[in-house]
Amino acid sequence: MRFASLRDDTPDGRLLLVSRDLRQALDASEVAPNLLDALHRWEEVAPVLQRLYDALNEGGVAEAKPFDPTRCGAPLPRSPQWCDASAFLTHGRLMERAFGTPPIPHFDTVPVMYQGASDDFLGPNDDVPLPSEADGIDFEGEFGVVVAAVPMAATAAEALGSIRLVIQINDWSLRALGPHEMSTGFGFLQAKPSTSFAPVAVTPDELGDGWRDGRVQLRLNVALNGKRIGEPHAGEMNFDFGQLIAHAARTRRLSAGTIIGSGTVSNVARSAGSACLAERRVIEILDEGSPRTPFMKFGDRVHMQARFDDGSAGPFGVIDQQVVSIGR
């Protein structure tokens, strides 16, 4: 199934079912008012939603309307918890060099993860208001999963079975603020503004061969102001999502609707490009002695779309956002 959240006068939006071709949408709020409610009552509502979804794809629902992602927020406009990992070791090692930080102990055996703000997610076409260009504005293209309730100390296999939805993410970062916050030992706060999401969340079966080994097997095409930044393949994730969920649940329960992110998609092969500017800049430093690519300015626009290995468009829709000043 494919879901989106239509903006209305409620914090969580109105639940939509979206057709497989992303052209039609059906208001499913009579089954569950919003996606978070559906996740809490998944065993009860999923069979009903599946029947409606099948009918939508067969063209048998008169109430269906054209799907307009610009009217949608994030699939989950807010979540009980948002934890983001750094599961692509290539990216992590490059960031250590970019920020001049010492190697993280056990980085290749124990997932690295931070807990971000989950009360104010951005939709796929929302402007991104920020206070200063001097903060080093950067995007980070990644994938994530939304889980059912996960018990404390769940195994990786158990955790993998808790995945209800797969999503596409732009985890905004302010690079000039990151080094200080990392050095405090308390983690990110100001360096991580509100996170953005592609409009459509999908059940793993919608990905077909694009979901394998607990990983999204798609490329993430990223462009800045219409110019290619990269199209790294998410299949190179060093930890699978089961391992990431189990890491987050090691000493706590996870509520239904918790989001776990992969971290920036990154490949060993330089030819794949990058999914963030910081990685591109550090590669320029390594290859050419200094960075050539600036961080984002107000008015810059980032475009992200997942694609299958055959080049066809992924199921999540498009993130297309402009950075703007908060105007103070």
Whose tokens are 């099948």? That residue is 54
CA atoms of 139 and 148, how far apart (whole Å)? 28
- Which is more confidently placed, 325 or 177? 325
Q: Which residue has the higher pLDDT, 186 or 111?
A: 111
pLDDT tens digits along 180-196: 877 787 888 888 999 99
Q: Is 76 a domain residue?
A: no
Q: In this predicted structure, what is the pLDDT of residue 226?
A: 98
Average pLDDT over every residue of 92-121:
82
Contact between 2 and 17 (Cβ < 8 Å): yes
The residue from 50, 71, 92 where one domain ends is: 71
Same domain, 258 and 128: yes
Considering only residues 168 and 60, tell me which one the structure prediction assigns the higher pLDDT: 168
The mean pLDDT of 119-143, rounded to a whole number, is 97
Q: Are residues 100 and 204 in the same domain?
A: yes
Report pLDDT for 251.
98
Q: Which one-letter DSSP state was computed for residue 268?
A: S
CA distance 275 to 291: 16
Q: Return the percentage of the chain with pLDDT > 90, whole number.
A: 85
- Percent of the chain surpassing pLDDT 70: 99
- Total domain count for the chain? 2
Joined tokens for residue 206: 């919608």
**pLDDT of 160:** 98
Chain segment 219-249, per-residue pLDDT in tens:
999 999 999 999 999 999 999 999 999 999 9
What single-letter amino acid sits at 137? I
CATH number of 124's domain: 3.90.850.10
Lowest mean pLDDT among 12-16, 67-71, 214-218, 289-293: 289-293
Domain that holds residue 90: 82-325
Q: Does residue 77 sit within a domain?
A: no
Q: How far apart are CA 172 and CA 28, in angstroms?
A: 31
Considering the domain architecture, whether residues 123 and 170 belong to the same structural domain is answered as yes
Q: Is the pTM of this model over 0.85?
A: yes
| Whether residue 294 sits in one domain with residue 191 | yes
Number of H helices, E strands in the chain: 7, 20
